[in-house]
Amino acid sequence: TQLLEQSPQFLSIQEGENLTVYCNSSSVFSSLQWYRQEPGEGPVLLVTVVTGGEVKKLKRLTFQFGDARKDSSLHITAAQPGDTGLYLCAGALPDSGYALNFGKGTSLLVTP
């Protein structure tokens, strides 16, 4: 059973465009993380959000944790080819914080 649903599954945009990817669940998480994974590599942690309604910014990336701690979004402003990759959200349930539940990911392609 997939606890976290990510959308869209695939996204192909041109350099300079903005985009938002979503991570939704019916479960409440104690924390939620976003990772980026490139082919042949392991996921690399981008951010951790822990408080409902929390917004974090990392350069052109803005992450938001839903008020109810069930969903999250990642917004990229002025996407660049270097943003290309698989974006994964992962949530930690309150009773097993170390066992992350990953979504299937959003595969992003940014073309020049």
Partner 1 sequence: GAGVSQTPSNKVTEKGKYVELRCDPISGHTALYWYRQSLGQGPEFLIYFQGTGAADDSGLPNDRFFAVRPEGSVSTLKIQRTERGDSAVYLCASSRFGANVLTFGAGSRLTVL
| Percent of the chain as helix, strand, coil, to the nearest 5 | 5, 55, 40
Residue 98 binds to partner 1 (criterion: CB under 8 A):
yes
The whole-angstrom separation of Cα 78 and Cα 94 is 35
Residue 88 lies near partner 1 (rule: CB under 8 A): yes
Count the residues of the shown chain that bind partner 1, applying the rule CB under 8 A: 23
Closer by beta carbon to partner 1, 56 or else 104: 104
DSSP state of 34: E
| Amino acid letter for position 10 | F
- Asked whether position 78 contacts partner 1 by CB under 8 A, the answer is no
Q: For residues 44 and 55, which CB has a smaller minimum distance to partner 1 in the complex?
A: 44
Residue 81 DSSP class: G
- Are 90 and 33 in contact by the 8 Å Cβ rule? The answer is yes
**28 vs 45 by CB, closer to partner 1:** 45
* Site string (23-62) toward partner 1, x via CB under 8 A: --------x-x------xxxxxx--x--------------
